[in-house]
Structure 1
């Protein structure tokens, strides 16, 4: 079943039954004003002058197997964005990260956090995808995949700051720090420069590990430089170099961040 209704961006629904259609439409209608306000924010503050033609609000199976084969049901390209607006699905995906680790007080705290997620986190995921449309990101140079961590970390930071309460923001940050620590204890460390398309060939713990490190790196850069705009300004300074030094290494060399996370 595919139903269309007109908004600033077209809303398309790819659902398995009437009940899922009702749930997804209710989510969109309930949050239309918030999402339109966010789009205005992106235009005014982050140079987002274009948006996808449509958002496909899709069930998990359709998003990850029919539209595209990918394990995470939120993604965008130059024509459309796909999102599963089902909080239960996202809680389950986040909890899958813990399958790699033995039960402990640390994992129990993470589990408790994910069980408590509010609908703000669904809005944040939508916000993450829409922020990718910012003209502040440069993608017209060779080897861009090596620097995708910056874009992913920045859109995650921006969307969290916008949609999450301060309490939710800090709780999610602490959870991310714990998951990064657990992952590195079990699997070791590798450079964030390795973030790329192969990320999605791994399990959920590995996939989200790269996103959490990217976010934490941007969070530290904003803390050190004072604002999102200041971080973008530094990014653009690097983009105007010969780029022989990878972006993350350049941030370290410039003493904008002490070391990789």
Structure 2
């Protein structure tokens, strides 16, 4: 993967050089894990390191400065900006423990966001090359969240982010939680655009975390095999029904 730097000044690049170097080394290690265990064979063409502003106003209009577009990963390494963005998710609510978590979230947590993008290239995902994933986006995105967190974070950090996102779903489910997991990213919701997008990620991650750690007793390979069998057998049922998850958040 090529490393591309898109900052407006040399000084701005210099501000993030050390974290970029740390993340680049960690990403190479994470890549090897995916290659060994999760069928990663084709890599993105490169990673574009840039600022939050450029990521969300020049390269894209997405509200989150980490995404993949045309086989290139774009990411901001600006941890303070990420903390501010994450806190904005709960600005309408007074939730001290969640605010404290985001105010102090670590570089490792930020790295999982980058690792998520690389995980999407794994061949364990049957629709990874399709632009529109009709009925399994929730599973693929949830599994990318699960694997990146499980493989990067300590067990304590992993449990903490799971607890945080469980609470976030509870806080926002009345406003955003009436649609099916199958409708990942396609609902016509009202309110904060960032929360619209993140709510689906929170739920998808929690659904996959439950499937792996409860339903499959921590056997992620079993869940991935079930998912691939669902595809090979012709997708007779929606994936949520195949996994008996259609009422998981009701």
TM (normalized to structure 1)?
A: 0.87
Question: What RMSD over aligned residues (CA atoms) do the two structures have, in Å?
Answer: 2.2
1:168-214: CA deviation from partner (whole Å, max 9, x where unpaired): 11111110000000011344522111103568996122211110111
Secondary structure at 1:71 match in 2: coil
1:239 aligned residue (231, 239, 249): 231
Specify the alignment match of 1:172 in structure 2.
161
Report the secondary structure of 1:51's partner residue.
Answer: coil
Of 141-150 and 222-231, more deviation after overlay is shown by: 141-150
**Structure 1 spans left out of the alignment, 5+ residues:** 1-8
More helix by share: 1
Q: Would the alpha carbon gap of residues 87 and 145 (structure 1) be closer, same or farther in structure 2, given more than 3 Å must change?
A: farther
2:210 maps to 1:217: no
- Structure 2 counterpart of 1:76: 68
For 1:88, the equivalent position in structure 2 comes to 80
CA contact (8 A) 1:199 1:207 kept: no
SS of 1:12 mapped into structure 2: strand
| Preserved CA contact (<8 Å) 2:180 2:246 | no
State the distance in 2 between where 1:188 and 1:78 align.
31
Instruction: Please name the residue that 2:182 is paired with.
Output: 193
Structure 1 residue runs of 4 or more that deviate by more than 6 Å after TM superposition: 140-143
- Deviating more after overlay: 174-183 vs 136-145: 136-145
Q: Does the CA contact (< 8 Å) of 2:240 and 2:246 recur in 1? A: no
The runs of 5 or more residues in structure 2 that have no matched partner are none
Q: TM-score, normalised by structure 2?
A: 0.90
Listed as ranges, the matches of 1:1-261 within 5 Å are 9-101=1-93, 103=94, 107-139=95-127, 144-196=133-185, 203-223=193-213, 224-225=215-216, 226-252=218-244, 259-261=247-249
What is the CA deviation profile of residues 99-151 of structure 1, one whole-angstrom value per residue up to 9, with x for unaligned ones? 233x2xxx111101111101001211110000000011111789723311111
Q: Report the Cα distance in structure 2 between the residues aligned to 1:47 and 1:200, rounded to whole angstroms.
A: 36
The aligned counterpart of 1:5 is none
Q: Distance in 2 between matches of 1:210 and 1:216?
A: 10
Name whichever of 118-127 and 136-145 sits farther off.
136-145
1:218-245 per-residue CA deviation (whole Å, 9 max, x = no partner) reads: 1001011131111100101111233242
Aligned-partner Cα distance in 2 for 1:251–1:166: 26
Measure, in 2, the Cα distance between the counterparts of 1:55 and 1:172: 25
Q: Is the 8 A contact 1:70 1:200 kept in 2?
A: no
CA contact (8 A) 1:221 1:231 kept: yes
* C-alpha distance in structure 2 between counterparts of 1:78 and 1:154, whole Å: 21
Give the paired residue count: 245
